[in-house]
Structure 1
Amino acid sequence: MAGTPIANSSTKCLPEGMPSIMGAIYPIEIMQDAKRLVVLAEFLSQTRRVHIGEKMPPADDTEPSYNGYSVARWDGDTLVIETSRVRPDVLFFNVPHSINMKITERLRRSSPTLLENKVMIEDPDYLSRPYSFTFQYKKTDYKIGEFVCENNQTKVDAEGKASLQLQPDTK
């Protein structure tokens, strides 16, 4: 049916996960100190944590999660972030991946108001070669608000298609 949206994490009121959270479809706020980088996402009030200066723990020591587990190191003026253990049910543009997916980000300031994030996804189980793209963020004075997903407005059918489910007037 024309105009019917395809269901995705957002329409199901689920976290976007990595790397979609970094696409900033909804606003994000990035905060950093010497030991961590924290990404706050407005959608579902999500939090992504990147541990600076730590080594990646063994896979058996980390549960798969929407944003995976992220560690980082400095390479000159670029923060190199490696993320693993993203849940296999987290999709990026509906492309599947395995638990072996690795995401490498190269985050650097490209001007006083712009932050560049070069992203590379590797997954030997699904990709024949790495897939790369770039996100760019502009510094603004926007203040992130609370976003509570009201899934009762969206009906998702067995085939994953979403449609607006209007609620009866309760007056």
Structure 2
Amino acid sequence: MRASRLALALAATALTALAAIPTVAGAQDGPAAASYKAPRNAWGQPDLQGVWTNATITPLERPAQFSDLVIPEAQARAMEQANASQNAEGLKPTDPNAKVTDLPVDCGRGFRGTDCGYNSFWTDPGTRVIRINGQARSSIIVDPPNGKLPAMTPEARQRLAQRFSRNNPRAFDGPESRSLGERCILSFGTSAGPPMLPLLYNNTYQIVQNRDEIAILVEMVHDVRIIRLNAKPLPASVKQWMGDSIGRWEGDTLVVETVNMRPEQGLRGASGGTLKVTERLTRVAPDQILYRFTVEDPATYVAPFTGEVAMNATKGPIYEYACHEGNYALEGILAGARALEKEGRTPTSDPVADLAGEGGL
């Protein structure tokens, strides 16, 4: 179902998503009316319920060709047209007689060699640039002003390098050493959140509210976030997938503070054990929610950073992502590692090298 390096590539490139199937444009085509007032539910809360998508071709970090957050509409249209052309190229069928060693060295979107397992038919990252208040955005990150992630601490750089190394000696020890996405525990990247960021596909969320809780069903790997309103935080010793999320209403904005994530979870090297994410969801139009988040992790980044994403209304329902069904890749990865070890060879993350008799998995 998934190969080892493909999973890493999905996690590493999901935030620079390109190509796919059109999504609902919604309110991103024009500025939200300053007088817009979100509808209320039965408890008098701003109503965020519905099915939403954050799919976009706007990357997390600002590309070098842009100096500002807001870009001219003509440039945004050019990006969307280039994406459509790349999408059309990616839709071309793969030669069924091709061997692993025939795969292209670089097939785009961050995939190389044996990671070239998806053509555009299977992906849905979005086709449009983020537009908020009618302004096209060059990056999800809005602070720092340069649209880049802050510098990482030396310890975090070392941790991240080991995690993605092809020669990580622990990478094939057992299922616990594999990624959360491969194990069908959480989404690739941080689609489940927090923060909830777009991926290569499955960028849909369903929000359901009651008086005391808000549930967010995440399409990718069928995650469900539970946000407890005006509740007491759990003890710091209680670590949870997606953390302990406590919400409150500030006017029309839902403010969610999340801590106590498990250390295996984080954003681009962030450690869930020291991570705090503050999210703000404001319904700014009938068919758009402005999603703003701030990430603080002093053990990983030298400063906090903030981003904004448009969540646009889309048609439901969300279909089940049956991750475990047919997931033969995880069993195959570990079985292949044991076979190599019996031959006295060291498993790596390079299948082509393995086929050439140089070791690898």
Fold shared per TM-score above 0.5: yes
* C-alpha distance in 2 between matches for 1:107 and 1:80: 7
Question: Which residue pairs with 1:34 in the alignment?
Answer: 211
* C-alpha distance in 2 between matches for 1:72 and 1:51: 6
Deviations 1:68-99 (A, max 9, x none): 1100111111111001111111132x323251
Question: Which residue pairs with 1:151 in the alignment?
Answer: 327
| C-alpha contact 2:265 2:272 (8 A) present in aligned 1 | no
Question: Which residue pairs with 1:123 in the alignment?
Answer: 297
**Larger strand proportion of the pair:** 1
User: Structure 2 matches for 1:86-165, cutoff 5 A?
Assistant: 86-92=261-267, 94-149=268-323, 150-153=326-329, 156=333, 159=348
Q: Which amino acid counterpart does residue 4 of structure 1 have in structure 2? A: T
Question: Which residue pairs with 1:15 in the alignment?
Answer: 186
Question: Which residue pairs with 1:166 in the alignment?
Answer: none
* C-alpha distance in 2 between matches for 1:23 and 1:161: 29
Q: TM-score, normalised by structure 2?
A: 0.40
User: Structure 2 matches for 1:73-88, cutoff 5 A?
Assistant: 73-88=248-263
**Alignment CA distance shift 1:98-1:122 (3 Å):** same
Question: Which residue pairs with 2:89 in the alignment?
Answer: none
More displaced, 5-14 or 33-42?
A: 5-14
* C-alpha distance in 1 between matches for 2:259 and 2:189: 9
> What's the RMSD between the two structures over aligned residues?
2.8
Larger-Rg structure = 2
- The higher-RCO structure (CA 8 Å, 6+ apart) is 2
| C-alpha contact 2:219 2:320 (8 A) present in aligned 1 | yes
Q: Secondary structure at the match of 2:270?
A: coil
Within the alignment, does 1:4 sit opposite 2:114 as a pair?
yes
* C-alpha distance in 2 between matches for 1:99 and 1:47: 20
| C-alpha contact 2:191 2:218 (8 A) present in aligned 1 | no
Q: TM-score, normalised by structure 1?
A: 0.79
* C-alpha distance in 1 between matches for 2:240 and 2:348: 24
**Larger helix proportion of the pair:** 2
Give percent identity, aligned residues only. Answer: 26
* C-alpha distance in 1 between matches for 2:270 and 2:349: 15
Q: Secondary structure at the match of 1:110?
A: strand
**Alignment CA distance shift 1:143-1:84 (3 Å):** same
